[in-house]
């Protein structure tokens, strides 16, 4: 019953035009059950809504005459806010998590970083793999690229490369994002 009325015409401040705010001389009136009652003057339509202890809400001002519906506006507004809250709750924002390492990393430490990245990717977050260089280590960027490519290969079952390895000052960065079909 209320699902049909989700196309309510908004006023100037995102609130729908209701009750006395409706300034049209004639309106097409729809009952609570969705049944068309006919064309009434806006004051008569408002009186019918008041008699039923409900509100007169404009659905569309594009038609001639404008379409208004009799509903419990407080209940309608509550259900819309509840639906919006549920939609926000189900929405997942991908967070960028970082895994830092050096290009001379030992195998066990590398496995720990892979497991961290795997855990982040499985929860739907993006992973930024960062290799930092100190001093003259910056000359060995090719070894860092090999390490990042190995990491991308090891995580290829759950991740796609969003940004390939790029040198950024004294570090090299690669961004991985979770594959779409793992959820």
Residue among 142, 110, 157, 108 at smallest CA distance from 129: 110
Please, what CATH class does the domain formed by 96-182 belong to? alpha beta
pTM for the full model? 0.50
Residue among 87, 99, 91, 22 at smallest CA distance from 58: 22
Asked whether 146 and 153 are in contact (CB, 8 A), the reply is no
Beta strands 171-178 and 126-132, pairing class: antiparallel
List 132's β-bridge partners, or say none: 171
Three-state secondary structure call for residue 132: strand
Please, what CATH class does the domain formed by 3-89 belong to? alpha beta
Average of pLDDT values for 130-154?
90
Average of pLDDT values for 80-90?
84
- In the chain, CATH 3.30.110.10 sits at 96-182
Q: Which of 128-132, 165-169, 179-183 has the lowest mean pLDDT?
A: 179-183
For the chain, count helices (H), then strands (E).
4, 8
Q: State the Cα–Cα distance between residues 76 and 153, nearest whole angstrom.
A: 52
């Amino acid at each position: 019953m209320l699902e049909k009325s989700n196309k309510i015409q908004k006023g100037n401040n995102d609130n729908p035009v209701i009750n006395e705010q409706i300034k049209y001389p004639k309106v097409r009136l729809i009952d609570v059950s969705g049944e068309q009652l006919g064309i009434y003057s806006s004051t008569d339509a408002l009186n019918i809504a008041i008699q039923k202890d409900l509100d007169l809400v404009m659905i569309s001002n594009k038609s001639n005459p404008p379409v208004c519906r009799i509903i419990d506006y407080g209940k309608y507004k509550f259900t819309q806010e509840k639906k919006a809250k549920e939609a926000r709750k189900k929405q997942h924002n991908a967070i960028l998590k970082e895994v830092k390492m050096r290009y001379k990393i030992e195998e066990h430490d590398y496995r720990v970083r892979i497991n961290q990245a795997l855990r982040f990717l499985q929860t739907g977050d993006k992973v930024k793999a960062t290799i930092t260089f100190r001093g003259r280590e910056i000359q060995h960027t090719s070894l860092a690229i090999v390490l990042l490519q190995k990491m991308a290969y090891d995580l290829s079952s759950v991740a796609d490369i969003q940004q390939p390895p790029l040198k950024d000052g004294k570090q090299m960065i690669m961004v991985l994002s979770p594959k779409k079909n793992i959820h």
